[in-house]
Structures are given as C-alpha cells and as structure tokens.
C-alpha cells in the first residue's frame, strides 16, 4: 500500500502535502528525504503534514519540513496551501478557518482566487530570531561588500537586506555566508529586497534548509516589516518574487501582518512508502 500525497504550490514555492491526521508513529527522516527529493522522490521545497488540531477552536494542525529534513516554525505559502487542501478535503466549511501552525494558531480567510493569512505580529527581538546581539540587526562582510541586515521573526527567523537590483544580487553566496554565521543559534532565511516604490518591492529569498526558492511568504512579510519600520513603505505592499506576487498589509508595531496570495493544486499521487 503506497502513501498518498498532493503536490501544490504557492507562487512557485512548491510542496508535498500528506495527511497524517491518524498517524501513530513519528515521521521518518528517510521518508521526508524521499518525498522532497526532486530526482529520487516527488520533489518540493517543503513537506507539509496535515495533523490533528493542537488547540481548541482550530480545525486542524500542520507541520513544516524543509527539503533538508529540518523542521520549520512558519511557512506563509504553505499556510495558504494547507488551508486550500483542507477546504477541498472538507475539514472545514465556509470562508474562514483557524489552524495550528508549528508556531501557534493562524487565522485564514478565503478571498476569491486567493487566501489571506494573518501571520501574527512580527517580533523584532534578537532573542526571537535566535541572534546573539543587542539589536535586531546584523552586519556581514561578504563578496567584497559590507552588508546590513534587519532581523525579524515571523514565527521563523529572517534577515533582510536592501539591494539596488534583485536581478544582480549575490543571493546564494551572501545567503549561504549569513546562514553559516555562528551568531544565529538556528540559522536564518535571508531576503534581498529592492525598493520599487512605497507600495511595491521586488524580493528574492535564500531559504534555510532549501536554498533560493521561487517565493517565500514569511520572507515577504519579513521584508515588508523591516522596510516599513524604516519608514520606506506604505501599509499595503505588493511583493514581486521570482514565482509571482504576494500582497502584504501591515500598519506597524503592535498590529499583525496579513499576507494574501494564491494556493494551487498540481497533482495527486501515491508513492511506495
């Protein structure tokens, strides 16, 4: 008997979704690796596991596993995809639902073709990012250049820097160097943001546990939070990633970040377990 899965993506950030609501044994590391492997398995940036709810009032819970097998606390594009998956599986009815992400409950609303997720309040404390420092910022010398990064947790750790043009940004080299920086206790996702206007940025993200992805939802929220805090952005921002656009709303400290974007089904299948 094989293991059933659904392949999905949100703006090109791709996922394998499996139903583990009635699983009894913990997820096997070798199985995660096979499901994520683009050559020997199905292939995805992240594996998403549908699980029983963990808090009263939530319809279901979910887990997030990066391609390298490491667990993650948040995944914006993944949140939209698990909500679309659960709606199709009739786990909930209607246009809004509360779900348990690994970093806590998340509220979602279906809006036409898209889904909006309340991603919670950004946390700018260095401690939340697992950063050994007094301020939510880090500097790094890499590729012959001094880089400044604003740090923020969206339930997972992010470092965001500004670049003149995302096309030419040394995303992989600098992303890799910052991820290896020992001041981060659990590494970080690294975003490179280009300011196009007060309501529009371009963004590339070198994700922890994967490398560069076509889109990173929590990374889009993190970039808007860091640049908004510097007074560079309005409250509604279009974020153009290599895989498509996400729409982020944030009105500043104390308020939650809202992220809207697509969640698409690609195919269903069964793999030998």
Q: Which of 164, 170, 150, 157 is nearest to 230 (CA)?
A: 150
Task: State yes or no: 77 annotated in a binding site.
Answer: yes
Closest to ligand LBFN2T5F by CB, 111 or 273: 111
Interface pick for ligand LBFN2T5F out of 66, 161, 179, 240 (rule CB under 6 A): 66
Bridge partners of residue 191, in order along the sequence: 160, 205
| Segment interacting with ligand LBFN2T5F (CB under 6 A) among 64-72, 91-99, 159-167, 169-177 | 64-72
The correct pick among 210, 225, 226, 248 for binding ligand LBFN2T5F (CB under 6 A) is 210
Q: By C-beta, is 138 or 197 nearer to ligand LBFN2T5F?
A: 138
Does residue 106 touch ligand LBFN2T5F according to CB under 6 A? no
Closest residue by Cα to residue 138 from 103, 171, 187 = 187
Residue 75 annotated in active site? yes
Return the number of other C-beta atoms located less than 10 Å from residue 157's C-beta: 26
Tell me the per-residue interface mask from 121 to 140 with ligand LBFN2T5F, x by CB under 6 A, - otherwise.
Answer: --------------------
Q: Which residue among 16, 47, 72, 226 contacts ligand LBFN2T5F (CB under 6 A)?
A: 72
For residue 215, give the nearest of 41, 45, 36 by alpha carbon. 45
Query: What single DSSP character describes residue 131?
Result: B
**The tokens of 256 are what?**
């939650």
- Least distance between ligand LBFN2T5F and beta carbon 224 (Å): 13
The answer to whether 260 is a known ligand-binding residue is no
Distance of CA 132 to the CA centre of its chain: 23
State yes or no: residue 209 binds ligand LBFN2T5F (CB under 6 A).
yes
Q: What is the largest CA-CA distance in the chain?
A: 56
Please report whether residue 49 would count as binding ligand LBFN2T5F according to CB under 6 A.
no
Q: Are 77 and 215 in contact (CB under 8 A)?
A: yes
Q: Does 13 contact ligand LBFN2T5F by CB under 6 A? A: yes
Comparing CA positions, the residue from 188, 256, 243 lying closest to residue 216 is 243
Give the contacts of 228 (CB within 8 A, at least 6 positions apart): 235, 237, 250, 252
Determine the Cα–Cα distance for residues 169 and 129; give it in Å rounded to an integer: 23
Which one of residues 217, 244, 261, 262 is an interface residue with ligand LBFN2T5F (CB under 6 A)?
217
Q: Which of 75, 81, 188, 221 is catalytic?
A: 75
Of 69 and 198, which CB lies nearer to ligand LBFN2T5F in the complex structure? 69
DSSP 244-267: EEEEEE--STTS--EEEEE-EEEE
Instruction: Give the integer Cα–Cα distance in Å for 231 and 45.
Output: 33
Size of interface with ligand LBFN2T5F, in residues (CB under 6 A): 20
Closer CB to ligand LBFN2T5F, 12 or 198, in the complex: 12
Report, as residue numbers or ranges, the catalytic residues: 75, 216
**Residues of the binding site for substrate:** 13, 46, 66, 76-77, 156, 189, 207-208, 217-218
Binding site for ligand LBFN2T5F (CB under 6 A): 13, 46, 64, 66, 72, 75-78, 156, 189, 207-210, 213, 216-219
């Amino acid at each position: 008997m094989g293991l059933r899965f659904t392949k999905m993506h949100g703006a090109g950030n791709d996922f394998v979704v499996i139903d583990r609501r009635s699983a009894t044994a913990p997820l096997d590391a070798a199985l995660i690796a096979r499901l994520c492997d683009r050559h020997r398995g199905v292939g995805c940036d992240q594996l998403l596991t549908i699980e029983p709810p963990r808090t009263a009032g939530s319809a279901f819970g979910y887990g997030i596993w990066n391609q390298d097998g490491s667990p993650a606390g948040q995944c914006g594009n993944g949140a939209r995809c698990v909500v679309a998956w659960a709606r199709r599986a009739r786990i909930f009815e209607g246009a809004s639902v509360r779900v348990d992400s690994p970093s806590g409950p998340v509220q979602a609303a279906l809006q036409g073709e898209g889904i909006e997720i309340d991603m919670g309040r950004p946390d700018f404390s260095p401690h939340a990012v697992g950063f050994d420092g007094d301020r939510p910022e880090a500097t790094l010398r890499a590729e012959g250049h001094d880089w400044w990064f604003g740090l923020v947790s969206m339930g997972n750790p992010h470092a965001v820097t500004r670049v003149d043009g995302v096309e030419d940004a040394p995303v992989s080299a600098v992303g890799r160097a910052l991820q290896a920086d020992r001041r981060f206790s659990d590494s970080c996702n690294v975003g490179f943001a280009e300011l196009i206007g007060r309501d529009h940025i371009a963004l590339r993200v070198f994700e922890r546990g994967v490398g560069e992805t076509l889109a990173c939802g929590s990374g889009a929220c993190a970039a808007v939070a860091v640049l908004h805090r510097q007074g560079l952005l309005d409250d509604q921002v279009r974020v153009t990633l290599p895989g498509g656009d996400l729409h982020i709303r944030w009105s500043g400290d104390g308020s939650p970040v809202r992220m809207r974007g697509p969640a698409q089904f690609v195919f269903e299948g069964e793999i030998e377990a």
